[in-house]
A and B are shown apart, each in its own frame.
Chain A
Amino acid sequence: MTALPRTVPISPDVVDLRCSFASLPLRHPVLAASGCFAYGQQFADFLDLRALAGLSTKGISPRPRPGNPLPRICETASGMLNSIGLENVGAAAFLRDKLPMLRAQGISVWVNFFGEDFAGYVECARLLDAGAGAGIDVLEMNISCPNIKKGGIEFGTVPEVAHRLTRACVEATRIPIVVKLTPNVADIVEMARAVKEAGAAGVSLINTLTGMAIDVRTRMPRIATTYGGLSGPAIKPVALRMVHQVARAVPDLPICGMGGIVSGEDALEFLMAGAACVQVGTANFARPRAALEVLAELRALMAELGIATVGEATGCLRAIPPEAPWEPPGN
Chain B
Amino acid sequence: MAPTQFIARVTANRRLTGGYFILELSGQPTDGGGSVAAAEPGQFVMLRGEWGRELLNPRAFSVLHVDPDGCFSVMLKAYGRGTTRMKALRPDDSMTVTGPLGRPFPGPRPGVAQILVAGGVGLPPLHFQARRAHALGVATQLELYYGGRDRDDLVLLDDFAGWDVRHVLATEDGSAGTKGFVTVPLAGRVADARARGEAIELLACGPTPMLAAVRKLALEHDVDAWLCLEEQMACGFGVCLGCAVPVHGPQPYRYCCTDGPVFTAKEVRWP
Assess the A42–B240 pair: CB atoms within 8 A. no
Q: Is B253 engaged at the interface, CB distance under 8 Å to the other chain?
A: yes
Interface centre among A42, A73, A77, A287 (most CB of B within 10 A): A73
Contact with B along A285-327 (1 / 0, CB 8 A): 1111100000000000000000000000000000000000000
Q: Is A51 engaged at the interface, CB distance under 8 Å to the other chain?
A: no
Q: Which residues of A260-282 are within 8 A (CB) of B?
A: 262, 282
Q: Is A176 engaged at the interface, CB distance under 8 Å to the other chain?
A: no
- State the CA gap A239–B235 with chains docked (Å): 23
- State the CA gap A43–B238 with chains docked (Å): 10
- State the CA gap A36–B4 with chains docked (Å): 18
Chain B's interface size range is 20 to 34
Q: Is A38 engaged at the interface, CB distance under 8 Å to the other chain?
A: yes
- State the CA gap A84–B244 with chains docked (Å): 9
Q: Which residues of B19-67 are within 8 A (CB) of A?
A: 33, 48, 53-58
Partner of A289, one of B5, B33, B55: B5
Q: Is A146 engaged at the interface, CB distance under 8 Å to the other chain?
A: no
Min CB–CB distance B245 → chain A (angstroms) = 8
Q: Is A154 engaged at the interface, CB distance under 8 Å to the other chain?
A: no
Q: Is A13 engaged at the interface, CB distance under 8 Å to the other chain?
A: no
Assess the A45–B33 pair: CB atoms within 8 A. yes
Assess the A78–B33 pair: CB atoms within 8 A. no
Contacts of B5 in A (CB 8 A): 46, 287-289
Q: Is B226 engaged at the interface, CB distance under 8 Å to the other chain?
A: no
Interface of A is mostly: loop
Known A45-B4, A286-B234; judge A84-B242 contact (CB<8 A).
Answer: yes
Assess the B3–A282 pair: CB atoms within 8 A. no
**Residue of chain B at shortest CB distance from A283:** B56
Contacts of B4 in A (CB 8 A): 45-46
Contacts of B242 in A (CB 8 A): 71-73, 82, 84
Contacts of A288 in B (CB 8 A): 5, 98, 235, 237
Q: Is A20 engaged at the interface, CB distance under 8 Å to the other chain?
A: no
- State the CA gap A69–B57 with chains docked (Å): 21
Contact with B along A65-100 (1 / 0, CB 8 A): 011011111110111101010010000000000000
Contacts of A287 in B (CB 8 A): 5, 96
Known A46-B4, A46-B5, A82-B240; judge A284-B235 contact (CB<8 A).
Answer: yes
Partner of A70, one of B2, B58, B244: B244
Contacts of A282 in B (CB 8 A): 56, 234
Total A-B Cβ pairs within 8 A: 94
Contacts of B233 in A (CB 8 A): 73
- State the CA gap A284–B5 with chains docked (Å): 12
- State the CA gap A54–B240 with chains docked (Å): 19
Q: Is B232 engaged at the interface, CB distance under 8 Å to the other chain?
A: yes
Q: Which residues of B209-249 are within 8 A (CB) of A?
A: 231-235, 237-246
- State the CA gap A10–B239 with chains docked (Å): 38
**Residue of chain A at shortest CB distance from B251:** A66
Assess the A70–B56 pair: CB atoms within 8 A. no
Assess the A80–B54 pair: CB atoms within 8 A. no
Min CB–CB distance A44 → chain B (angstroms) = 9
Partner of B56, one of A43, A71, A79: A79
Q: Is A232 engaged at the interface, CB distance under 8 Å to the other chain?
A: yes
Partner of A285, one of B33, B240, B246, B251: B240
Contacts of A82 in B (CB 8 A): 234, 240, 242
Assess the B252–A66 pair: CB atoms within 8 A. yes
- State the CA gap A284–B253 with chains docked (Å): 23
Contacts of A183 in B (CB 8 A): none
Contacts of B56 in A (CB 8 A): 75, 78-80, 232-233, 282, 285-286
Contacts of A121 in B (CB 8 A): none
Contacts of B232 in A (CB 8 A): 71-75
Assess the A80–B237 pair: CB atoms within 8 A. no
Contacts of A80 in B (CB 8 A): 56-57, 234
The 6 closest A-B pairs by CB, nearest first: A73-B242, A285-B234, A285-B235, A45-B2, A233-B53, A38-B239
List 18 extra interface pairs beyond A72-B244, A285-B234, A286-B48, CB under 8 A: A36-B240, A37-B239, A46-B3, A70-B231, A70-B244, A71-B242, A72-B232, A73-B234, A75-B57, A80-B57, A82-B242, A87-B244, A87-B253, A233-B56, A285-B239, A286-B57, A286-B234, A289-B5
29 contacts between A and B (CB under 8 A): A38-B239, A42-B237, A42-B238, A45-B3, A46-B3, A70-B231, A70-B244, A70-B245, A72-B242, A72-B243, A73-B232, A73-B234, A75-B56, A75-B232, A79-B56, A80-B56, A80-B234, A82-B234, A82-B240, A82-B242, A87-B241, A232-B53, A232-B56, A262-B53, A286-B48, A286-B58, A286-B234, A288-B235, A289-B5
Residues of A within 8 A of B (CB): 36-38, 42-43, 45-46, 66-67, 69-75, 77-80, 82, 84, 87, 232-233, 262, 282, 284-289
